[in-house]
Amino acid sequence: MKKPIIPITLASLLTAGTAFSADTPPAGFGKPDRVFVIKTMAGQMKYDQADLMVRPGQKVRINLKNEDQLPHNLVVLKEKGIYLKVAEKAWALGTEGPAKNWIPEDDRVIAGTKMADPGQTTSVWFTAPAQEGDVDFVCTFPGHAMVMNGKLHVSNAPEPGLDNLTYIAYKGGWSKLPDFSTLEKAGTATDELNDNLIDIHAAKLTNGFGMVFDGRLNVPVDGDYTFNLGSDDGSRVWIDDKVIVEVDGIHPHTEKSGKVKLAKGPHVFKAAYFDGGGQTSMTLAWSGPGFKDKNLSKEKREKNRGEQFEEILLAPTATEAVIYRGFMDKAEGSHRMIAVGWPGGLNAAFDQDQLRLGLLWKGKFFDAGRHWIGRGAGNQGPEGYAVQPLTLGENFAVLADAAAPWPAPKDGRATASTFRGYALDKNGYPTFTYTTGGASGVQVTDRPEPAGALDKGTEAIKRTLTLKAAQAPGLLYFRATGGHPVTAQPDGSYKVDGGLTLRIESAERPVIRGQELLVPVKFENGTATLTVTYTWQ
């Protein structure tokens, strides 16, 4: 087997290869008319753009920037709908594949990049087909083509999106979008935006500035179009002088969408933005017949910080709770979170690492898209609102004396409590069990559940804790909160700075110790019970 390999390599060099892949432009290619930068998406086996548009006969360069952990290439084909057939031919190259950059000898191949290893960038130069129509591009590395492909649209039609885009910049201090037409522009800060994308940083102004963008929006076909506008601080978009969407005022990056029916052809486009100081952002993307979330701004519309995943919303049914175990954001370094969404719109996450109730929130439960698409990298925050993180550290501890410090977690995990699991009732509501108090082996059952009603404004989570101990465990405490000022209220509740109110029912009175609220646990016949009701905004 080894012997023939040398001739094969030589033969393949002679018969294939060089015309198809190179990291320098073909001789005499000249300057490309269009340059695209396509990135591979880490952990997702996808290109970040699946639709490119070029004019017939244009000279095109595509730079493939590989941000994934696997090698990829990008091969442009002469027809559409053939990417799998050509890729399968590439896979059949077998051990000869790497030497040929997995590009098969096939008349349907226009050109391809070399294999880009993780972190590398490779390029392909080619002349677009002379006829209008769509053609495929694809990664021909074995196993990738099914999901890693896209379309090159060869067309003389105006490219959907903005053109003739210009901006005018303003300096000032506003709390709402002003009428810019009455203001003087900032110095000479006005220019064309060559890439026809909205860019609030084009004038390089910071802390108290405004931008107005004027241009033309090319609409590909008659239909309904949705514009997603997000900004920090305020912004507004007009089409044909009508306001389509706005997010005015001072706020962190906030997104809204507007829908409009548009006829095929050019429309007058205008957008305005202001920054009241500090953080800045503006993203605009549109969706319409046949395309979704195409960016009209240089800053890309992003859901979930950075990567975009399709939403897979998990929700309880009308009667049954839903459980999700996964890597959660806002969990403060705990990685074993058991989240529960109850019917009625209240949610919580129990922290298995630290044996504590870790998070409370209202509204929607959890979007599993990040974890269930691609490899599942990264933490995902709760989907709803009013996310309330609770105090870190195990909830129960035996203290040597009333002044002893609360035990700190070691490597993010509880030191004197051990998780045992949970049981679900008929409605899927969990009761967590664990032991605490170190050697004394106190058994705890911990059942949080919704109380009150979200639509009446009386919503709360009530937690019932039942403890059993064969022998008295010493000074066992429940720590209801710690780390924020806590004050006793006339109605018997406790207010914690940051919007949390606790109501505690226990045999012994809770004790405020600095910023901690400690509840001494008193056993009778080996059993103790306490309840904690959490309300928060």
Nearest to 167 by CA among 244, 80, 270, 74: 270
Other beta carbons less than 10 A from residue 144's beta carbon: 23
For another protein, the closer of residues 44 and 123 by Cβ is: 44
- 520: which 2 tokens? 């001494």
* Minimum distance, C-beta of residue 380 to another protein, in the bound complex (Å): 10
Query: Which residues lie near another protein (CB under 8 A)?
Result: 1-5, 7-8, 10-12, 14-15, 43-45, 70, 84, 91-98, 142-144, 146-148, 322-327, 335-336, 338, 352, 368, 372-379, 411, 419-425
* Minimum distance, C-beta of residue 143 to another protein, in the bound complex (Å): 4
Find the angle CA(413)-CA(418)-CA(421) to the nearest 5 degrees: 110
For another protein, the closer of residues 79 and 320 by Cβ is: 320
Beta bridge partners of 255: 230
For another protein, the closer of residues 176 and 325 by Cβ is: 325
* Minimum distance, C-beta of residue 2 to another protein, in the bound complex (Å): 3
* Minimum distance, C-beta of residue 416 to another protein, in the bound complex (Å): 15
Rounded distance between C-alpha atoms, residue 214 and residue 36, angstroms: 24
* Minimum distance, C-beta of residue 356 to another protein, in the bound complex (Å): 15
For another protein, the closer of residues 254 and 431 by Cβ is: 431
* Minimum distance, C-beta of residue 278 to another protein, in the bound complex (Å): 30
- 533: which 2 tokens? 């009701």
Question: DSSP letter at 197?
Answer: -
The answer to whether 198 and 296 are in contact (CB under 8 A) is: yes
For another protein, the closer of residues 284 and 328 by Cβ is: 328
* Minimum distance, C-beta of residue 343 to another protein, in the bound complex (Å): 16
* Minimum distance, C-beta of residue 144 to another protein, in the bound complex (Å): 5
Residue 91: its H or E element: helix 83-91
In the chain, the amino acid numbered 25 is P
Nearest to 250 by CA among 174, 170, 171: 174
For another protein, the closer of residues 209 and 324 by Cβ is: 324
Tell me the pairing of strands 34-41 and 59-66: parallel
Rounded distance between C-alpha atoms, residue 20 and residue 182, angstroms: 58
For another protein, the closer of residues 147 and 402 by Cβ is: 147
Nearest to 60 by CA among 196, 154, 192: 154
Rounded distance between C-alpha atoms, residue 251 and residue 273, angstroms: 13
Phi, psi of 260 (to 5 degrees): -155, 145
For another protein, the closer of residues 1 and 318 by Cβ is: 1
